[in-house]
Structure 1
Amino acid sequence: LPEISAFRPEKPSWTGVASIDCETQRFVRCHDLWYGQISKEADCALKDVNGEWAEDDRSWHNRLRIAIKKKSEDARIKSSNKDKNDKKKGGKKKVEQEAKNDQENEMEKAVSEQDVQMKEEAEQQEKDSMQQQ
């Protein structure tokens, strides 16, 4: 196999512009790298990839599960603290937010009802045009 990298770095400086010139190399397929670089003994040793990495996978999934659980717990605690603070302030922010949410929900309902009506009208017009033909 030819040398993969032909990178020649320039002299380092803080003020200059770095340019990287690489000689063109032929494309090397992954399996060529595998069979060209790994001996048969190492290849046999790496056949049981699932067995070798199973413990790492389990520990990674455990850590991920714990991190997700901790984040959700932190978010729950933060929201409960926020609710307590809102109650202390008289709940004005919560009431305002609920009113805003109600307005948004009403607007979404109105838009969806209009969409349904427009679809029904379009279907009716389509049926009428089909009957006329």
Structure 2
Amino acid sequence: MTSEVDTYIAALPPDQRAALTALRARLKALLPEHPEVISYAMPGFRQPGPKGKMVAGYAAFSKHLGLYPHSGSVIPKIDCSPFKTSKSGVLFTPDRPLPDALLETIIRARQAELAAGYGRKA
């Protein structure tokens, strides 16, 4: 799947390409055992194993970039200011990337949610 992610990133304008390449490396460092995939038309990282759930994805849009923890309940619980947020993600720009501490907080919150059984069918 890495080649699909490479293709996605290569198609972006230079500033977005640089920003998402950096974000990708930071996510790989936080999620070293997690396979890279394309899910919901965006690159991201899935839990290891055959039924691993998505931990986080990222995407580029015309005016911003976004990080999406594939959950509607992670972002509302975290203070992401001064960044704009939606229920499902946090938005940023190439010249104002997410700080390491915020990125790690989002990823760890998503991992805790998954560990607690979020998304499993009863």
TM-score under structure 1 length normalisation: 0.19
Highest Rg: 1 or 2? 1
Which structure has more helix as a fraction of its residues? 1
Q: Give the number of the structure with larger relative contact order, counting CA–CA contacts within 8 Å between residues 6 or more apart.
A: 2
Which structure has more strand as a fraction of its residues? 2
TM-score under structure 2 length normalisation: 0.21
